[in-house]
Amino acid sequence: MNNQELKYLELLSEKFPTIQDVCTEIINLKAIQNLPKSTEHFLSDLHGEYESFLHILKNASGVIKTKIDEIFEYTMTNSQRKEFATLVYYPEEKIKLLKEENKDNLNEYYKITLFRLIKLCKVVASKYSRSKVRKAMPKGYEYIIDELLHGSLEAQDKETYYHQIIDSIIKLGRAEAFIIEISKLIQQLAIDHLHIIGDIYDRGPGPDIIIEKLMKYHSIDIEWGNHDIVWMGAACGNPACIMNVIRISARYGNLFTLEEGYGINIRTMTEFAKETYKENVPEIFHSHTEEFEKDLDIELMGKMEKAAAIMQFKLEAEIIKRHPEYEMNDRLLLDKIDYENGTIEINGYKYNLKDSNFPTINPEAPFELSEKEKEVIEKLIRSFRNSEKLQKHINFLYNKGSIYKIYNQNLLIHGCIPMTEDGELVVANFNGERLKGKEYLNYIDDIARRAFYNQEEADIDFMWYLWCGKHSPIFCKDAMKTFERYFLDDKNLKKEIKNPFYSFAQDEEVCKKILREFDINEEEGRIIGGHMPVKLKDGESPIKANGKLLIIDGGLSKPYQKTTGIAGYTLIYNSYGLVLAAHEPFTSTEDAIKNETDLHSSKQIVEKVERKKILDTDIGKELEEQIQDLNKLLDAYKTGQIKQAN
């Protein structure tokens, strides 16, 4: 044993000072290794749809309702089981309604409900160690809940004992609090670990609400999506990212997320849009706000969207010119416009513009910002950087997030691993380095962190590149055709070509090659991503390459539900294998509570395996390393190299 190993074991001996302590811990870790693998849930492309997302968490993608049906099939009617499930999902809100309904026999209702909750909790807790379940229990309730779940009395005494505990809870006026806390414990135990595979932000009304929930979640990782990155870039002070955020927020009628959610002052921007576009703007600038929000000033949203778009094009040009290595000169279009005739020349062809009113563009210097635009941008940068809540949320995304993650032999990434037309990994050239595959993604992760924490201009510029650059692994297209979508009719010009990854990765061998690049077991591993909505209604499957690639963007975002035909996917990975749940649209939280409408989901088995244990997971491997260290400490005690405590 060398000195370094000895020093480490001496530190370890402070926690386990005797042979008995070491042996007890080894036995405990071995026991944990042989428990069933806990349940992971994967969700992608939340896009601010907080009500649907929160309901999916509360019902664990239907797992809790399934458990209730299995346990109480013969002792409760279907309507009773629905009511009970709703109570578990929304205990604070539902208990108020049920108290009124059962006011003439309230104590009996409490007693029955508490017994049912304990029975359900025992089932969902059965795959965890007693220690882990106890740690998950609400503070102040641990002892009593632990007794109710794990009481070791003989059968004839147990029922009397339980009745006495529950009677005491009711007499002391704590029944309602216990119902709420046990329901929350059931929700937590139903999902051991949550993976969010990108795009929390944009389109839907509550990304800030989702982040607040995730910040309190017990176990989570996040893989950044392109819509997360653009908000992260905005929080760093990147003006092009800020204008993209404002444009998209206006387009989907969600400017209140900026104002009310994050306290970002957009008044100067609003006044600028009103003054600049006194006449109504074309419908192309408010096509989505009319569809999803009926009580907004639609014309103002359109003016805000157009003002942001024009400033965005100018600001993006500055970045493109600063970084020729981005190879994005094709996105410089304002200098290709014939402002007098309302046309634009692209690739030698002239096209008529759908809108040729450009009061803020100087035809002689089309990429120059006006003085008023500069003022607006400076104020917005300050507001984004000084928003305490936004900075806190983005800091959380950095702490819990990454560009990709390897977890239990699965490669999690929002978009793609960039590939060439020849089926090879893209070699990207940045800062004199030629990077591809895992090395390239690690480089991206480092730059993204530096942008937020070091605030260097080049790194902050790169956040915008990740949003829309052709080799970005979370954009995954040849170009973002924002200008063409607004101003041109030609469908070919608007088309954004997907990275070849999406064609080649249909092949199982290509996926295995990618897994090897990331040092993942090619037989066990999979690539799990989102980003590209799966058109289930057109017969497209989220399961590709013989199960080696799973794309789980099913359209939780309402604007995509017409495309996908469903309202989102959840991938569930438990001890028995992988199950894909396809969700129907969620009505509302109010409807779920009052009318007990659940989120209907159809499930498809992706892979069934011989029951996995914790031993077979990443945590199991970590536990094995701890056991090996403890065995070394045990040997050191036995040989006298380290002395036991007296």
Q: Write down the pLDDT at residue 294.
A: 56
Under a CB-based contact definition with an 8 Å cutoff, are residues 526 and 550 in contact?
A: yes
Residue 113, CA atoms < 13 Å, CB-side half-sphere: 30
* Of 460, 455, 415, residue with least CA distance to 240: 460
Q: Of 451, 482, 513, which one is at a domain's C-terminal end?
A: 482
Judged against a pLDDT cut of 70, whether residue 514 lies above it is answered with yes
What pLDDT is attached to residue 611?
Answer: 87
Residue 166: inside a domain: yes
The last residue of one of the domains, among 147, 174, 190, is: 190
**Does residue 266 sit in the same domain as residue 340?**
yes
Residue span of the structural domain in which 105 resides: 60-190
Residue 27 lies in a domain: yes
Over residues 302-356, the pLDDT tens digits come to 999 999 999 999 999 999 999 999 999 999 999 999 999 999 999 999 999 999 9
Pairwise CA distance, residues 425 & 431, whole Å: 19
pTM of the model: 0.93
Please tell me the distance from the alpha carbon of residue 441 to that of residue 425, in angstroms, as a whole number: 12
**What's the gap between Cα 246 and its chain centre?**
21
Do 387 and 478 fall into the same domain?
yes
In whole angstroms, what is the distance from residue 205 CA to residue 258 CA? 10
Q: Are residues 130 and 227 in the same domain?
A: no
Please indicate, yes or no, if residue 169 is contained in any of the structural domains.
yes
Please give the full DSSP string across 101-143, using - where no structure is assigned: HTGGGHHHHHHHHHHHHHHHHHHHHTTS-HHHHHHHSPTT-HH
| Strand arrangement, sheet containing 220-223 | 401-402, 220-223, 193-196, 40-43, 569-574, 577-583, 601-608
Number of domains observed in the structure of the chain: 3
Beta strand 577-583 pairing with 601-608: antiparallel
Assign 149 a pLDDT band (cuts: 50, 70, 90). Answer: confident
Q: Residue 154: what pLDDT?
A: 54
Same domain assignment for residues 457 and 333: yes
Residues 306, 384 within the same domain:
yes
Cα torsion angle, 516, 522, 528, 532, sign: positive
Q: What is the pLDDT of residues 155-194, one digit of tens each?
A: 556 667 778 888 999 999 999 999 999 999 999 999 999 9
Say yes or no: 345 and 395 in one domain: yes
**182 with 251, same domain?**
no
Is 215 part of any domain? Answer: no
> Looking at the structure, do residues 178 and 236 belong to the same domain, yes or no?
no
Residue 443 belongs to some domain of the structure: yes
Q: Residue 475 falls within a domain, yes or no?
A: yes
Residue 139 CB neighbours (<10 A): 6
User: Are residues 115 and 255 both part of a single domain?
Assistant: no
Domain match, 29 and 118 both: no
Give the number of other Cβ atoms within 10 Å of residue 417's Cβ: 29
Q: Are residues 29 and 64 in the same domain?
A: no
- DSSP states along 264-276: ---HHHHHHHHHH
**How many helices (H) does the chain have, and how many strands (E)?**
29, 17
State CA 103 to chain mean position distance: 41
Q: Per-residue DSSP letters for 315-347?
A: HHHHHHHH-GGG--GGG--GGGEETTTTEEEET
Q: Let me know if residue 64 belongs to a domain.
A: yes
Q: What is the pLDDT of residues 530-576, one digit of tens each?
A: 998 888 888 889 999 999 999 999 888 887 888 888 788 999 999 99
Residues 471, 361 share a domain: yes
Number of neighbouring beta carbons within 10 Å of residue 378: 12
- d(Cα 286, Cα 547) in Å, to the nearest integer? 40
- pLDDT mean across residues, the chain: 92
Which of 455, 482, 509 lies at the terminal end of a domain, its last residue?
482
| CA distances from residue 414 to 142, 234, 293, 475 in whole angstroms, order as listed | 38, 20, 28, 9
Residue that has been written with the tokens 């970045």 in this structure: 319
Tokens of 54: 């929160």
| Helix segments in 418-545, DSSP class H | 437-453, 457-468, 482-487, 491-494, 501-504, 508-517
Which DSSP letter does residue 73 get?
T
Question: What whole-number distance in Å separates Cα of residue 302 and Cα of residue 524?
Answer: 49
**Angle, in degrees to the nearest 10, between helices 226-236 and 457-468:** 160
> Looking at the predicted structure, is the pLDDT value of residue 292 above 70?
no
The whole-number average pLDDT for the span 423-437 is 91
Whether 449 is covered by a domain: the verdict is: yes
Dist CA 590 CA 569 (whole Å): 22
